[in-house]
């Protein structure tokens, strides 16, 4: 039995040859019964193909109002930029470690006062003049004139200790010594030396020219830079009086001479002092985000954020740190946190800053990237205890911002490039049937439309490229010009701005890109943020901000090609001759091709035999099929369809090659007019019909 050999179905694809030959469907083959006597007629098959068949087979193919065939290919989201992409760099810059020392500084002490009164009798006991001493002691309580006297008594009077310190190095302060003369005579040239018992040093000397009886005189000592203890005494060297001037006075040895000691406006550098409950120190701390791309952030909204903190105190009393973040808001209120620290201790923990709004533009000297913390360091409780103190004592405030999730940002986001995510598009075109020797296929008016939807409030310039990979291993680049992307204004936050631009043969390399029979497109590139590098620009990002780009090819099938080669395989011939017949009995072999060609393309065909080792042998070379003729309107009319027959003689060897082949290869070449230089259009009513048969005449 002799089996017919059928051409395999030629698959549809983007390029011309696929359009021409996709219609070679097996279910359209029809066996041809040819009776013979001495001659064997073998039907190979029938091929009938119309371009309109493509429209039902592949939705990529379209027909215009005139029936012109083209391709519209759309790819959504072929590259994109999300809010998280842009916020990533910002987030990294925000996750920063901060450290500030809150120094106590000089300590203001409460004013202190102590008074000591001594009766005149204690001074009289130390008079050096025995007669005067005896006179005063004997006449106590009587009216007597008092003579003038000058006594070197060298008396030391211990003052009561001041309660609020043991010793102190003073930054400033005043010490007042008031002498209250309640004696019965005036005093003159009175001198009092204030001595620190702890050091033995003289703190100061107080000179009083005259203290009338019944009056008080005060002298002040500047304590700046002095160190004193609370163990003080007054040393009185001389007690002088002009007497009563001959006038009798009541001698009263119980009358006192009082010493009043006051410490006023004392500011302590260091010492052992009583730190009173209440405010110890206050400061406004400014923190800057050290961003890497000259970003100038004005505001943030954080879905999530955590502050990990450590407070180290070298203050000898318990302290409480109150931190007020005046420009960080949660539920419409500034964030306030209080942290307690034990004496010379440490406190650690974390603070929740999720769902907070940060205003980073509130400081006039730097209205960006800066937030403030108003800190108050206080001593809790009601009782004061003396502790060793220094104005250098401090609380070190260490904190880090972690787990930051920025949902919105405003400001200037810097001048930089963001890499667009590389994306490869498989066009889904099966071009494997085109031979590697095919010449480039040049479309006359291809267009690629790119539509960018952008809800970022940022000026962007897209500089992208497209690399096509051809079915035969070639590659080509699109090389489009950079494109400025429209963005919504601040008033349009949440809306989408759309930018559409068309790449054609005048502004890109699209003709060469498509000429290599592309099967995939690789997209990559960069997006330049703030290409004008204007720090005054106000940018914004919301959590929903995104940039997406869609791609659309518009390829009307008007093209030129010199040598488009299509290859397909079919079943082997397998003559299966009856007993008694061999190839040597073949006297004559003819291959007959009847064609009706409605395609205005020069067409030639080759048939090759494929052996088991993959070797190819040409059986039929360059069988020329007449092209259809174009009418005055540039289309093929029914009168322009080419019809005819080809009769090709085959040798026994050629028949044997077909019989021994494991597959037959059908290779068809196309060329547009003018030796491939004249472009043509394709229309849906273009078709080609081929009927192929093999005739064998035997000498038996």
pLDDT tens-digit readout, 326-341? 999 999 999 999 999 9
Determine whether 399 is exposed, middle or buried from the number of CB atoms within 10 Å of its CB (0-12, 13-18, 19+).
buried
SS3 695: strand
Burial 248-265 (b: 16+ CB within 10 A, else e): ebebbbebbbebbbbbee
Which residues make beta-bridge pairs with 408?
A: 301
Residue 655 phi, psi (nearest 5): -60, -40
Predicted TM-score (pTM) of this structure: 0.63
pLDDT recorded at residue 672: 72
Q: Which two tokens stand for residue 393?
A: 């004592």
What does the DSSP assignment read for 114-129?
EEEEEEHHHHHTT-S-
- Regions of the chain with pLDDT less than 50: 1-37, 45, 47, 54-60, 63, 68
Report phi then psi at 674, rounded to 5. 65, 40
First-residue to last-residue Cα distance in the chain: 18
The answer to whether 581 and 671 are in contact (CB under 8 A) is no
How many residues are there in the chain?
Answer: 700
Phi first, then psi: what are they for 124, rounded to 5°?
-60, -35
Q: What CATH number matches the domain at 91-105+276-412, 2.40.160, 2.60.120, 1.10.760, 1.10.405? A: 2.60.120
User: Which pLDDT value is given to residue 292?
Assistant: 81
For residue 39, the surrounding DSSP H or E stretch is strand 39-50
Provide CB contacts within 8 A for 302, sequence distance 6+: 353, 354, 355, 356, 358, 404, 405, 406, 407
Residues ≥6 apart with Cβ < 8 Å to 441: 15, 16, 514, 515, 517, 559, 561, 564
- The C-alpha atoms of residue 660 and residue 619 are separated, in whole angstroms, by 12
Give the whole-angstrom CA distance, residue 457 versus residue 488: 5
Average pLDDT, the chain: 83
Tokens of 444: 């006359």
pLDDT of 240: 97
Helix (H, G, I), strand (E, B) or coil at 335: strand
As a dihedral over the C-alpha atoms of residue 311, residue 317, residue 318, residue 319, rounded to 10 degrees, the angle is -60
pLDDT of residue 29: 31
Task: Give the domain 413-556 fold.
Answer: Jelly Rolls (2.60.120)
Is residue 226 helix, strand or coil?
coil
Cα–Cα distances in Å, from 412 out to 51, 292, 419, 682?
56, 13, 19, 53
What's the token pair of residue 591? 């291959």
Asked if residue 698 lies in contact with residue 38, where contact means CB atoms within 8 angstroms, the answer is yes
Do 537 and 459 meet the contact criterion of CB atoms below 8 Å apart?
Answer: yes
């Amino acid at each position: 039995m002799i089996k017919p050999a059928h051409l395999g179905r030629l698959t549809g694809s983007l390029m011309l040859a696929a359009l021409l030959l996709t219609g070679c469907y097996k279910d359209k083959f029809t066996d041809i019964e040819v009776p013979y006597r001495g001659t064997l007629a073998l039907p190979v098959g029938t091929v009938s193909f119309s371009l309109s068949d493509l429209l039902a087979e592949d939705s990529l193919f379209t027909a215009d109002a005139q029936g012109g065939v083209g391709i519209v290919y759309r790819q959504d989201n072929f590259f994109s930029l999300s809010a998280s992409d842009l916020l990533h760099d910002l987030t990294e810059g925000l996750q920063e470690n901060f450290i500030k020392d809150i120094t106590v500084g000089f300590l203001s002490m409460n004013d202190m006062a102590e008074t000591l009164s001594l009766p005149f009798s204690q001074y009289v006991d130390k008079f050096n003049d025995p007669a005067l001493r005896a006179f005063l002691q004997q006449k106590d309580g009587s009216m007597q004139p008092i003579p003038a006297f000058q006594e070197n008594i060298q008396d030391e009077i211990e003052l009561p200790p001041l309660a609020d310190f043991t010793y102190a190095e003073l930054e400033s302060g005043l010490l007042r010594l008031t002498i209250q003369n309640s004696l019965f005579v005036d005093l003159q040239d009175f001198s009092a030396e204030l001595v620190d018992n702890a050091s033995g040093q003289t703190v100061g000397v107080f000179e009083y020219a005259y203290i009338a009886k019944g009056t008080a005189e005060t002298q002040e000592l500047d304590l700046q830079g002095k160190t004193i203890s609370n163990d003080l005494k007054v040393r009185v060297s001389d007690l002088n009086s002009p007497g009563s001037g001959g006038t009798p006075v009541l001698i009263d040895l119980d009358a006192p001479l009082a010493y009043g000691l006051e410490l006023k406006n004392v500011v302590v550098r260091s010492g052992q002092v009583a730190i009173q409950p209440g405010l110890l120190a206050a400061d406004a701390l400014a923190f800057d985000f050290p961003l890497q791309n000259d970003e100038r952030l004005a505001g943030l909204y954080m879905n999530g954020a955590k502050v990990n903190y450590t407070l180290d105190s070298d203050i000898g009393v318990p302290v409480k740190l109150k931190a007020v973040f005046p420009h960080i808001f949660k539920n419409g209120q500034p964030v306030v946190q209080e942290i307690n620290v034990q004496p010379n201790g440490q406190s650690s923990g974390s603070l929740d800053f999720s769902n907070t709004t940060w205003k980073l533009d509130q400081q006039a000297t730097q209205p960006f990237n800066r937030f403030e913390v108003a800190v108050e360091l206080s001593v809790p409780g009601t009782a004061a205890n003396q502790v060793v103190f220094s104005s250098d004592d401090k609380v070190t405030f260490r904190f880090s911002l972690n787990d930051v999730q920025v949902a919105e940002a405003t400001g200037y986001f810097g001048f930089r490039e963001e890499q667009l995510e590389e994306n490869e598009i498989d066009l889904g075109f099966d071009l494997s049937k085109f031979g590697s020797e095919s010449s480039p296929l040049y479309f006359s008016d291809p267009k690629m439309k790119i539509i960018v939807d952008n809800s970022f409030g940022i000026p962007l310039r897209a500089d992208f490229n497209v690399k096509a990979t051809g079915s035969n291993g070639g590659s080509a680049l699109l090389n489009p010009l950079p494109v400025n992307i429209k963005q919504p204004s601040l008033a349009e936050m949440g809306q989408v701005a759309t930018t559409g631009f068309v790449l054609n043969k005048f502004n890109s390399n699209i003709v060469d890109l498509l000429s290599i029979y592309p099967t995939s497109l690789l997209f990559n590139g960069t997006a330049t943020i703030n290409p004008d590098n204007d720090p005054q620009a106000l940018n914004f990002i919301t959590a929903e901000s995104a940039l997406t780009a869609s791609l659309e090819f518009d390829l009307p099938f008007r093209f030129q090609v010199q040598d488009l080669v299509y290859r397909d395989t079919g079943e082997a011939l397998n003559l299966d001759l009856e007993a008694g017949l061999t190839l040597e009995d073949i006297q004559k072999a003819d291959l007959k091709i009847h064609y009706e060609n409605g395609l205005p393309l020069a067409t030639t065909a080759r048939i090759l035999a494929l052996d088991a080792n993959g070797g190819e042998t040409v059986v039929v070379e360059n069988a020329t099929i007449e092209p259809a003729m174009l009418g005055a309107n540039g289309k093929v009319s029914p009168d322009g369809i080419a019809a005819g027959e080809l009769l090709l003689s085959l040798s026994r060897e050629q028949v044997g090659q077909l019989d021994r082949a494991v597959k037959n290869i059908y290779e068809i070449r196309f060329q547009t007019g003018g030796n491939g230089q004249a472009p043509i259009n394709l229309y849906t009513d273009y078709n080609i019909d081929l009927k192929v048969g093999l005739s064998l005449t035997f000498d038996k």
